[in-house]
Amino acid sequence: MRAGATVGMQDCMATQGGTVTLDKRGERAVVLGGGMAGLLAARVLSDAYNQVIVVDRDELTGTATARNGVPHGRHAHCLVARGQQILEELLPGTTQAMSDAGVTLGDFNAQIQWYFNGRKLAASDSGLICVSSGRPILEQHIRTRVQAIPGITFREGHDIAGLDTTPDNTQVTGARIQRREQGSDPEVIAADLVIDITGRGSRMPAWLTELGYPAPPEDRIKVDLAYTTRHYRLKNGNPFTTDIAINQAGTPACPRGVFCYLLPDGKTVELSLTGVLGDHPPTDPDGFDQYVQSLPLPIHYQFIQDWEPIDDPVRFKFPASTWRHYETLTRFPRGLLVMGDAVCSFNPVYAQGMTVAGMEALALQQHLQAPGPLNALAFFTDIASQIAGPWQFSAIADLGYPGVEGERTDQIKLVNQYIPAVLAAATTDPVVCDAFLRVAGLVADPMSLMQPDIAKRVGRAMQQRATATAQH
Ligand SMILES: Cc1cc2nc3c(=O)[nH]c(=O)nc-3n(C[C@H](O)[C@H](O)[C@H](O)COP(=O)(O)OP(=O)(O)OC[C@H]3O[C@@H](n4cnc5c(N)ncnc54)[C@H](O)[C@@H]3O)c2cc1C
């Protein structure tokens, strides 16, 4: 067993040939979907099952570019601070290996130029690391490490067709898969545990209904968002110097945004424009340039005048954030779990999905280490408590846009009056800036921004701005 791996079930200890070994929870677990959440789950499952099989429709091994199964992988991705910490906990040494390979990572605060409402946040060292290097590269680094773990194998190029169950449908006994080749026969992989991690397109609600179970109720926040992304080659100099990204974040006051960072070759820039409520960044080159020009600050427009475009803009539409509330179900088949975007898919501009996938992997680890049979509904309750904070953060921020449908309680209205004041204070006060970015990095609770010391600083900054405005 790998150093540090703990099955943690005292009653599973057995003596073999004089050495103490830890029995596994079962023989085989099958992970449906080899995306970011699937990889982290596979890592955790390998401690508890002799075999972990990851099934995906794409060819994954060695893939360092965007792939069909993850069309959003063509667009800006940033692994925020808490996600990086979890990555190190589950796969120690990955950050250093990525850094050695040229992946852009650095301080979440001091090494990212963050602009909100046309003003730069006050940078300071946060000691928090963020990886801002493109999704396929990040996924490839994680996948390479996961593939090296004994017991984990990948069934690539296979479609997932459904679940195999006992005749009474109370226990999932495996997954039905089929190679993506004409004439190939469907096959069943028998398993003690099957986890659906196939992303927001998960068919689990339909599968449950077919098996005679209720589908989970769903929360949706319609944002009608689109990312449009183009890549450029640096020509004269490198404006990033020691920064890892230069971002203008969209807000209700200035809804158009841009995420922009260098890829590991050190000369290619990934630039993703974001627009909400149908104001989608165009895919024709002229329209794309005009959208860049319309951002609150001219910095990115000046950059692209100097950079050479190397592809055409590509768009990804994201209609709504969705949270499927599996934790509210009262019946669920044994031997089955759901994780990742298949449970909750967040508005991506807040960069939470991969980190929440990591938080769910840690929750899975705890459940696997606990004695007794896996309890799916208890697992769903635990991950719901992990999801709740980030969901609240992004949902409340989205409801700050008058065009987003949804109920606005007095508390939500209050928060959406307070946050612009926090952002304004964060442009002059590094302490407020740090507090805000800790929340955005998912290392601090959103309520920490309401603490008296931060609220006082926000109030002081408001007063200073009012005084300065009065004097001019
Ligand atoms: C535009 C955009 C930008 C984002 N930016 C960020 C960011 O900056 N930071 C962040 O943390 N998160 C971001 N996210 C969210 C992040 O991508 C996901 O939350 C995260 O990757 C976890 O997803 P997942 O592994 O659950 O699903 P996916 O990434 O969707 O992976 C699902 C996998 O399942 C496979 N699959 C699906 N169906 C089948 C099938 N029937 N048969 C076989 N295989 C199948 C797919 O090939 C894929 O590999 C962004 C999302 C979008 C849309």
pLDDT tens-digit map of 263-300:
999 999 999 999 999 999 999 999 999 999 999 999 99
Per-residue DSSP letters for 215-243? Answer: PPPEEEEEEEEEEEEEEEE--SS-TTTT-
CA of 457 to the centre of ligand 1 (A): 38
What number does the ligand 1 atom closest to the CA of 139 have? 21
Confidence of residue 23 (pLDDT cuts 50, 70, 90): low
**Which residue's C-alpha comes closest to atom 28 of ligand 1?**
199
Give tens-digit pLDDT for 362-391. Answer: 999 999 999 999 999 999 999 999 999 999
Predicted confidence at residue 470, as pLDDT, reads: 86
How many beta carbons lie within 10 A of that of residue 86, not counting itself?
A: 22
Predicted confidence at residue 16, as pLDDT, reads: 39
| Binding site membership of 239 for ligand 1 (Cβ less than 6 Å) | no
| Binding site membership of 198 for ligand 1 (Cβ less than 6 Å) | yes
Residue range 37-43: average pLDDT?
A: 98
| Binding site membership of 389 for ligand 1 (Cβ less than 6 Å) | no
CA of 208 to the centre of ligand 1 (A): 22
**Which residue's C-alpha comes closest to atom 49 of ligand 1?**
35
Confidence of residue 12 (pLDDT cuts 50, 70, 90): very low
**Which residue's C-alpha comes closest to atom 50 of ligand 1?**
348
**Which residue's C-alpha comes closest to atom 51 of ligand 1?**
348
| Cα–Cα distances in angstroms (integers) from residue 267 to residues 231, 264, 467, in the given order | 10, 8, 45
Predicted confidence at residue 472, as pLDDT, reads: 75
| Binding site membership of 318 for ligand 1 (Cβ less than 6 Å) | yes
Q: Are 151 and 52 in contact (CB under 8 A)?
A: yes
Residue range 40-65: average pLDDT?
A: 96
Give tens-digit pLDDT for 224-264. Answer: 999 999 999 999 899 999 999 999 999 999 999 999 999 99
| DSSP assignment letter at 472 | -
CA of 469 to the centre of ligand 1 (A): 46
Backbone angles phi, psi at 194, to 5 degrees: -120, 130
pLDDT at 122 > cutoff 80: yes
pLDDT at 6 > cutoff 60: no
Predicted confidence at residue 204, as pLDDT, reads: 98
Percent of the chain with pLDDT over 70: 95
User: What is the best residue among 104, 354, 383, 394 to mutate for testing ligand 1's pocket, by most ligand atoms within 8 Å of CB?
Assistant: 354
| Binding site membership of 136 for ligand 1 (Cβ less than 6 Å) | no
CA of 179 to the centre of ligand 1 (A): 21
CA of 334 to the centre of ligand 1 (A): 25
Residue range 307-331: average pLDDT?
A: 98
| Binding site membership of 160 for ligand 1 (Cβ less than 6 Å) | yes
Radius of gyration, alpha carbons of the chain: 23
Predicted confidence at residue 11, as pLDDT, reads: 31
More confident residue, 319 or 20: 319
CA of 100 to the centre of ligand 1 (A): 26
| Binding site membership of 87 for ligand 1 (Cβ less than 6 Å) | no
Give tens-digit pLDDT for 404-427. Answer: 999 999 999 999 999 999 999 999
How many beta carbons lie within 10 A of that of residue 369, not counting itself?
A: 16
Provide the token pair at 150: 């004994």
Mean pLDDT computed over every residue of the chain: 93
Confidence of residue 19 (pLDDT cuts 50, 70, 90): very low
Predicted confidence at residue 9, as pLDDT, reads: 30
Residue range 303-326: average pLDDT?
A: 98
- Give which of 439, 442, 415, 434 is closest to 353, Cα–Cα: 442
pLDDT at 13 > cutoff 80: no
